[in-house]
A and B are shown apart, each in its own frame.
Chain A
Amino acid sequence: MNENIQLELPKGVVRIIPLLGGKLLIARKISGNVKPGDIVAGLKKIGITEGLLNDSIELLQRENIFEMPVACAFYHDEPPQFKVHFGRQFSEDDYLRMVNGEEIPFIKQDLQVLANQKLVSIVKPFRTVLRYPDGHIAEKAVLQEAYDLRIFNGANVRSKNNVILSQIEGSAFVSKWGKVYVFPILTVRGLGEIHGKLDDQYGVHVLEDIHSYSNLELPSSVFVTGMIHSSFIKVKGYVQALEGIDNSKKIENSRIIAGKSVLTPHIKRYRITAGEDVLVNEIITQSLIISHRNVVARIVDESEIRVQNKLIADEIRAGSQVYLGPSFLKNQTYNHWVVANQKAEKQLNRKEYALEELKDRFEREKQVLIQYFTRLKESGQKNILMDATMMRLYDQLKESFNALQKQTDEYETLMKNYLTIGIIMAYYARENRMTEDPQIRVYGKIAKGVMISSSGKSVKLTKSLENVTIRLDRASGELRIISHNNKDVAAVPV
């Protein structure tokens, strides 16, 4: 950010002024009253999300304070940039083909790896970066020996030099946290209620259907050649069903929660949460879809879609609701990491105080011992070892020394734990940082009555539209419609 920006808040106006080349941002009150929450929301809208100075922002609501720093750049450790040597990345062209009804490829083969296969290699190492309040970074230095690549070892993999290799043959995936997993694949004809809860350490390939009331909780992926019927499925990897996902029996517990993407031709009456994409080349009907990245579907019918980045469709029918942007998505795993990070820092600080106390004790005892030793020497005592007080002081000092060593080792463990959590969170933040405004792209028709909600606004379309993009302008919070039928039509606010 290099230019002043005027922020219109609900009850006042502030000007955001960048100083020191955008490293420090200050807010100057122009008029009205400002509330800290409004300022933070306003800053986030214009993309100022890093290094917020909440204590300073808080003071801006006071009448006798007119300006305050609101965000400042800071250094942090940046995780490595990986090149993934397996799997399949879907491009915008692939999305377009799905919207046109083209079949989605079976990704089981793409994720299949052999033992000792190179899965991931480092393109850029761990490094120090300067993070500006608007999120962009300036790379500063390579971090030598600060971290071990094994941080990103999920399961059944090993690190060697700058690569992560598989230890077994199986199905692999890289989680949103950068961890690489390989699990063996169990191939079964079908699954049903009779099999009970499946929660073993493998992935599953079902040759026919997953029948109603099945319960799967797996650390890997699920590939189904047939259909998924009214079941509860929770996996860390992908879910792909080649013939569809259907809850015709309307069983309330039917739900799919996938850490990665969900791919299928159609979804009916299901609740689906995906860490990445939901890709459907036919229809989503009467379902609730929550996607932390993109939703691609040929037709969306009477469904609720909560999507962070993009909803791409050929047709959105009446009765559908779209919630656009990250504010409608809860990320419990991320919240767990935040709590773990705070806990780790607290433990580290506590250990530091304990160490300081021990250091003081050790120094005191050391002084006493040295003084006594000098006195004994001066008095001409020949066999110092035989002196009982000397031995007592020595034992005391030895005890403090051992305690100090133990606490030092514990500090190292806690510090490594804290830094590891931090680097994993930094990986997640980097991979999930939004580079574009959230949007809905409809190639065909979006029906009258479709409800679209963004963080600040909800609108119901009063007429149907064709070939449009509905974009959430994060800076202003406005929803804008861009028609692609007539190139001259400018973006109009809804």
Chain B
Amino acid sequence: MNKKILILDNDEPSVRIITHVARALNLDTLVIHNWGKSLNLVQDENILIVFLNVELGIVNIPSFLRHFPQNREDGERHFIPVYFLFNKLFSPRFQEAKKYAHAGDLKKPLKIERLVEILDGLIDVERVLRYRENEYRDKWRNIKDYSQKTKEFMQQLESILG
């Protein structure tokens, strides 16, 4: 499964920019407008990075960061960086959010160069780029494995039933 970029924002141009950069690099995105209802959904996902618009007030920052701890004490393996998105540098919500540990800030309109720089630091881009033929070969391998397992099951069943 491809890693996902979690976006908590309702500003359409910003969401589109992140989504399209992600799509170009063969990454998936998960856009969330209501954090409270979506918490369970997010827990099952393989999240690579989080972009959170702190000016929207859709999340309580400290409790949100409990799900994505930004101190690296838990070890690098589980670290999911959270970047704060903002429009106005002196907006009270952004100033308040800045007090909490986070990976960085991105001012809108988002600059793709900066986004790509961040993603490049997190993943080996060359490894995730699209390889359509291989995607089909992987699917075929899974199908073949499943087919083999069903064959073995049927053989076992036949031997039991005589």
Contacts and interface: CB of A to CB of B under 8 A. Distances in A.
Given A69-B21, A394-B161, A26 B132 contact: no
B37 interface: no
B42 to A, nearest CB: 25
Given A59-B16, A64-B13, A385-B161, A20 B116 contact: yes
A291 B157 CA distance: 65
Contacts of A24: 24-25, 116, 125
Interface residues of B, number: 38
B109 A72 contact: no
A78 B12 CA distance: 39
A337 interface: no
A19 interface: yes
Q: Is the interface of A mostly helix, strand, loop or mixed?
A: helix
Closest 6 CB pairs of A and B: A75-B131, A69-B24, A72-B24, A56-B20, A74-B130, A408-B147
Interface in A42-75: 53, 55-56, 59, 62, 64-69, 72-75
Nearest to A72: B24
Given A24-B116, A74-B131, A75-B130, A401 B109 contact: no
B137 interface: yes
A386 B14 CA distance: 66
A412 interface: yes
Interface stretch (A248-256, A414-422, A457-465): A414-422
A385 B131 CA distance: 50
23 contacts: A20-B116, A20-B125, A55-B20, A55-B23, A62-B13, A65-B16, A67-B17, A68-B17, A73-B129, A74-B131, A75-B130, A77-B133, A355-B143, A366-B153, A385-B162, A404-B147, A405-B150, A405-B151, A408-B143, A411-B140, A412-B144, A415-B140, A422-B133
B20 A19 contact: no
Interface of B: 12-13, 16-17, 20-21, 23-25, 109, 111-113, 116, 120, 125-126, 129-134, 136-137, 139-140, 143-144, 146-147, 150-151, 153-154, 157, 161-162
Given A352-B139, A401-B150, A128 B17 contact: no
A74 B132 contact: yes
Nearest to A71: B24
Interface string A344-381: 00001000100100010010001001000000000000
A76 interface: yes
A348 B136 contact: yes
A384 interface: yes
A168 B161 CA distance: 56
How extensive is the interface on chain A, given as a class? 35 or more
B129 A130 contact: yes
Given A53-B20, A68-B20, A73-B129, A19 B143 contact: no
Given A72-B129, A75-B130, A408-B147, A146 B137 contact: yes
B131 A66 contact: no
Interface in A13-48: 17, 19-20, 23-24, 26
Given A20-B120, A362-B150, 13 more contacts: A20-B125, A23-B129, A59-B16, A62-B13, A65-B17, A67-B112, A72-B25, A74-B130, A130-B129, A398-B154, A404-B147, A412-B140, A415-B136
A483 B145 CA distance: 66
Contact of B112 (A69, A130, A394, A405): A69
Nearest to A75: B131
A56 B24 contact: yes
A168 B23 CA distance: 51
A42 B23 CA distance: 23
B129 A17 contact: no
A401 B151 CA distance: 8
A432 B130 CA distance: 24
A53 B157 CA distance: 50
A175 B11 CA distance: 53
A19 B113 contact: yes
